[in-house]
């Protein structure tokens, strides 16, 4: 253990830990660099992308705080900054006046779309590996994330297709949606299955389903 100490970095697990640490440094650099050009902080970039892709039920300050992994007070600061740049607005929900929903403005939507490629350099580095190595890497990193998630260090938002609660084509002729979510016990239209969801729980890796497969 103690992989940040070079003297302890002789095990495979220590070397992989340091490699993952360097990847996170690269991701932080890419976010900062893009942020400088877009006049946004890394947290503001992540907030815009979250609001563009997450299920609407998570569009709250606490939903965003979970995604950013920071306190509600810090998240409120991020929201205030984006609101003053007119990239999002706070709206009170009609069904529950106590809940404030965060909504991207048209300019916020445009900005978020522009920023979607911020991790392309990382993806290109992974895509340059042989496919079998990518498959091993995917399984291994998913298992690491799952363990860190269970320990409460990371909150995972993901789309339906690899979720335990997803029932593909459960009612193909239902006008409300052909798929089903067993968590909320409701039909899912196709487009909703591509939203990042806070209630996502991964299915067993070997049973993984991919869109279009
Ligand atoms: S709980 Fe799972 S299946 Fe249900 S909406 Fe969320 S990701 Fe989709």
pLDDT, tens digit, 9 for 90 and up, residues 105-151? 999 999 999 999 999 999 999 999 999 999 999 999 999 999 998 89
DSSP string, 43-74: HHHHHHHHHHHB-GGG-SHHHHHHHHTS-HHH
Q: Are 161 and 211 in contact (CB under 8 A)?
A: yes
pLDDT, tens digit, 9 for 90 and up, residues 47-57? 999 999 999 88
Q: What is the pTM of this model?
A: 0.85
In the chain, ranges of CATH 1.10.10.10 domains: 41-115
Q: CA–CA separation, 119 vs 138, rounded Å?
A: 16
Ligand 1 midpoint to CA 12 (Å): 35
- The closest alpha carbon to 86, from 73, 71, 105, 66, belongs to 105
> 135: which 2 tokens?
């498959």
SS3 at position 102: strand
pLDDT exceeds 90 at position 3: no
Chain centroid, CA 53 distance in Å: 8
Q: CA–CA separation, 204 vs 53, rounded Å?
A: 24
Which of 165, 169, 187, 193, when mutated, tests ligand 1's pocket best, judged by the most ligand atoms within 8 Å of its CB?
A: 165
Quickly name the fold that domain 41-115 has: Arc Repressor Mutant, subunit A (1.10.10)
Closest atom of ligand 1 relative to the 167 alpha carbon: 3
Cβ of residue 161 lying under 6 Å from some atom of ligand 1 = no
């Amino acid at each position: 253990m103690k992989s940040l100490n070079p003297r302890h970095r002789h095990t495979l697990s220590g070397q992989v830990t340091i490699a993952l640490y360097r990847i996170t440094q690269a991701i932080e650099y890419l976010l900062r660099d893009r942020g400088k050009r877009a006049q946004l902080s890394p947290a503001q970039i992540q907030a815009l992308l979250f609001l563009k892709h997450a299920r609407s039920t998570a569009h709250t300050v606490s939903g965003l705080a979970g995604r950013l992994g920071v306190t509600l007070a810090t998240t409120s600061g991020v929201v205030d900054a984006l609101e003053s740049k007119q990239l999002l607005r706070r709206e009170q929900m009609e069904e529950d006046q106590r809940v404030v929903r965060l909504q991207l403005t048209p300019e916020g939507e445009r900005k978020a779309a522009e920023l979607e490629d911020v991790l392309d350099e990382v993806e290109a580095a992974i895509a340059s590996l042989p496919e079998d190595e990518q498959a091993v890497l995917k399984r291994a990193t998913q298992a690491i994330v799952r363990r860190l998630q269970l320990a409460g260090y990371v909150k995972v938002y993901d789309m339906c297709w690899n979720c335990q609660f997803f029932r593909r084509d459960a009612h193909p002729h239902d006008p409300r949606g052909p798929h089903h979510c067993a968590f909320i016990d409701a039909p899912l239209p196709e487009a909703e299955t591509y939203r990042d969801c806070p209630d996502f729980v991964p299915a067993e890796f070997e049973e993984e389903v991919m869109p279009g497969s």
